């Protein structure tokens, strides 16, 4: 009996020693955002230790990033399973992965029960804000505050609540679970309210305008657009403004429609575009690209409502587009050079017949025409006579091949060079720009060339008045 006890103690000690030695083996890993199973596979490959787990238990688990050098297996497992709904235990020389129970501590973020989050939204003065949108970020769950600024929504711990309100800055707050009562203060954004907007013959701040007006700066106009067509740059940037282009050919003018089509089209009236005003001068231009270079635009103001007719009369029935070009700025002389180059690929899917296919088609067509037409048979005794006399090609042409797709359609090129200079003082400001633009289309002999020169001088005259 004593011998059996000693044997059992020796075996237990050996098992513990083997387990300790196994977990003490060194591992080097450098993995970023990989599944947990990938970490286990690397540990098994480097150490030869056995890790037992069920593949389905990792569905919905978070990816793991780990960077260790000569770390023990236990350190690696502790690091990769941290904040995960899994734990491990050692049985002999085998590591067994299991799901955490409530007694183990942390629960999976995916399994957390939503909590009722309440709160109140106020402005800088502490006054409640009604109609503030409260969104659980990353979901479609949205609620709004009531007349007292109070809201209530369901969210999980670590979810982010986003608060948005017109005229106020957006704010984000993370749900911690420590408290379900949140107090939020939104700060008024007055940047857009101080913008200067051109309205006809005057300029006003946005707070002084009650009509439907939208302003786009030159930087916003050219942002994310490779085209040098001013009309194309406006697409999708002005609400209620529709731009119709008849095709994709070079120099295509297109047309602007705002506030709908208010006239019937006839031979003498095909223009439904808004009135275009350039630097205070009323133009008769139909298209923006005909009168201004996008590099010279300081801002574009679109007057949409009927109030614009009070300024410009019936000519503004389709709305008004007011363009303000750049002026010189006070300070040293500034020279700016912009060069652009682009290429247009011919991606047509139409394939033309080659010489063999074309002659074979003509032969079959002429044979069918000869057999079906009695008058042709009476004029030409044989099919060969009819063929040799009326065919549109000669014998020498049969051995020639011309790829008409390459002849008629080629890759296009687009070049734009803009040179501008500006200078100014307290009283005088000067701006000048020279633009050279050339675009070769994909169709044969289709090209558009423009040279635009713009110069503006602004001088302020004043004389002090004195009274004796």
Write the DSSP symbol of residue 16.
H
CATH classification of 195-325, choosing from 1.10.3720.10, 2.30.110.10, 2.20.25.90, 2.170.130.10? Answer: 2.170.130.10
| pLDDT, tens digit, 9 for 90 and up, residues 136-155 | 888 878 888 988 999 988 88
- Note the Cα 424 to chain centre separation in Å: 37
Q: Mean pLDDT, to the nearest integer, of 62-78?
A: 83
Given a cut of 80, is residue 346 above it in pLDDT? no
According to the model, what pLDDT value does residue 318 have?
Answer: 78
Q: Which residue has the higher pLDDT, 199 or 339?
A: 339
According to the model, what pLDDT value does residue 121 have?
Answer: 93
Given a cut of 90, is residue 238 above it in pLDDT? no
- The half-sphere exposure of 124 on its side-chain side, counting CA atoms within 13 A, is 6
According to the model, what pLDDT value does residue 203 have?
Answer: 55
Q: Which two tokens stand for residue 210?
A: 């009650």
Confidence of residue 82 (pLDDT cuts 50, 70, 90): confident
Residues in Cβ contact with 322 at an 8 Å cutoff, skipping those fewer than 6 apart: 198, 199, 200, 277, 300, 301, 302, 303
Taking a C-beta distance cutoff of 8 angstroms, is the pair 137, 172 a contact? yes
Given a cut of 90, is residue 67 above it in pLDDT? no
Mapping DSSP to helix (H, G, I), strand (E, B) and coil, where does residue 399 land?
helix
| pLDDT, tens digit, 9 for 90 and up, residues 43-62 | 888 887 888 777 777 776 77
Give the architecture (CATH level 2) of 112-185: Sandwich (2.60)
According to the model, what pLDDT value does residue 264 have?
Answer: 61
According to the model, what pLDDT value does residue 12 have?
Answer: 38
Q: What percent of the chain has pLDDT over 70?
A: 77
DSSP 179-216: -SEEEEEPPBP-TGGG-EEEETTEEEEGGG--S-EEEE
| pLDDT, tens digit, 9 for 90 and up, residues 424-445 | 887 788 888 888 888 887 777 7
CATH code for the structural domain at 16-107: 3.55.50.30
Confidence of residue 163 (pLDDT cuts 50, 70, 90): very high
Quote the mean pLDDT of the chain.
76
According to the model, what pLDDT value does residue 244 have?
Answer: 74
According to the model, what pLDDT value does residue 6 have?
Answer: 36
Any idea which of 191-195, 295-299, 416-420, 427-431 has the lowest mean pLDDT?
A: 191-195
Q: What percent of the chain has pLDDT over 90?
A: 4
Give the separation between CA 268 and CA 275, rounded to whole angstroms.
Answer: 17
According to the model, what pLDDT value does residue 270 have?
Answer: 60
Give the separation between CA 204 and CA 222, rounded to whole angstroms.
Answer: 24
Confidence of residue 191 (pLDDT cuts 50, 70, 90): low
Q: Mean pLDDT, to the nearest integer, of 348-354?
A: 73
Q: Mean pLDDT, to the nearest integer, of 181-195?
A: 73
Q: Mean pLDDT, to the nearest integer, of 309-338?
A: 81
Given a cut of 60, is residue 286 above it in pLDDT? yes
* Candidate ranges 81-85, 90-94, 106-110, 368-372; pick with highest mean pLDDT: 368-372
Alpha helix (H) residue ranges in 118-229: 218-222
Any idea which of 116-125, 207-216, 297-306, 314-323 has the lowest mean pLDDT?
A: 207-216
Q: Mean pLDDT, to the nearest integer, of 9-15?
A: 37
Given a cut of 70, is residue 18 above it in pLDDT? no
Taking a C-beta distance cutoff of 8 angstroms, is the pair 256, 274 a contact? yes
Q: Mean pLDDT, to the nearest integer, of 450-462?
A: 72
Confidence of residue 271 (pLDDT cuts 50, 70, 90): low
| pLDDT, tens digit, 9 for 90 and up, residues 218-229 | 888 877 666 777
Write the DSSP symbol of residue 43.
H
pTM for this model (two decimals): 0.45
Q: Mean pLDDT, to the nearest integer, of 349-361?
A: 80
């Amino acid at each position: 009996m004593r011998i059996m006890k000693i044997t059992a103690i020796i075996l237990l000690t050996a098992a513990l020693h083997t387990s300790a030695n196994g977990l003490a083996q060194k591992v080097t890993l450098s993995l970023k955002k990989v599944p947990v199973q990938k970490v286990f596979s690397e540990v098994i490959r480097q150490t030869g230790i056995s890790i037992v787990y069920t593949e389905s238990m990792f569905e919905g688990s978070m990816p793991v990033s780990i960077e260790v050098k000569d770390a023990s297996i236990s350190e690696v497992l502790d690091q990769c399973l941290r904040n995960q709904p899994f734990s491990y235990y050692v049985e002999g020389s085998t590591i067994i992965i299991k799901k955490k129970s409530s007694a183990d501590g942390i629960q999976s973020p995916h399994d957390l029960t939503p909590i009722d989050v309440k709160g109140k939204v106020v402005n800088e003065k502490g006054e409640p804000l009604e109609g503030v949108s409260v969104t659980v970020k990353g979901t479609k769950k949205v609620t709004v505050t009531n007349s007292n600024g109070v809201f209530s929504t369901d969210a999980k711990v670590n979810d982010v609540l986003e608060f948005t309100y017109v005229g106020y800055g957006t704010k984000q707050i993370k749900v911690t679970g420590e408290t379900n009562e949140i107090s939020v203060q939104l700060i008024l954004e007055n940047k857009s309210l101080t913008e200067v907007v051109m309205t006809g013959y005057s300029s006003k701040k946005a707070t002084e305008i009650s009509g439907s007006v939208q302003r786009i700066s030159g930087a916003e106009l050219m942002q994310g657009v490779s085209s040098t067509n001013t009309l194309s740059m406006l697409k999708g940037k002005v609400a209620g403004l529709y731009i119709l282009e008849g095709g994709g050919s070079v120099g295509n003018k297109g047309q602007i429609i705002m506030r709908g089509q208010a006239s019937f089209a006839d031979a003498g009236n095909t223009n439904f575009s808004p009135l275009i005003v350039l630097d205070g001068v009323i133009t008769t231009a139909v298209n923006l690209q005909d009168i201004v270079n996008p590099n010279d635009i300081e801002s574009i103001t679109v007057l949409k409502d009927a109030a614009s007719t009070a300024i410009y009369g019936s000519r503004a029935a389709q709305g008004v587009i007011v363009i303000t070009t750049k002026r010189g700025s006070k300070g040293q002389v500034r020279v700016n050079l912009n060069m652009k180059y682009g290429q247009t690929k011919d991606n047509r899917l139409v394939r033309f017949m080659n010489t063999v296919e074309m002659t074979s088609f003509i032969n079959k067509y002429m044979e069918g025409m000869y057999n079906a037409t009695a008058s042709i048979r009476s004029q030409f005794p044989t099919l060969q006579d009819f063929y040799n006399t009326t065919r549109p090609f000669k014998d020498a042409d049969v051995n020639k091949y011309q790829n008409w797709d390459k002849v008629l359609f080629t890759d296009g090129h687009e070049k734009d060079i803009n040179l501008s200079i500006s200078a100014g003082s307290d009283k005088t400001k000067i701006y000048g720009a020279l633009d050279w633009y050339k675009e070769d289309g994909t169709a044969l002999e289709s090209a558009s060339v423009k040279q635009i020169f713009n110069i503006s001088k602004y001088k302020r005259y004043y004389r002090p008045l004195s009274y004796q």
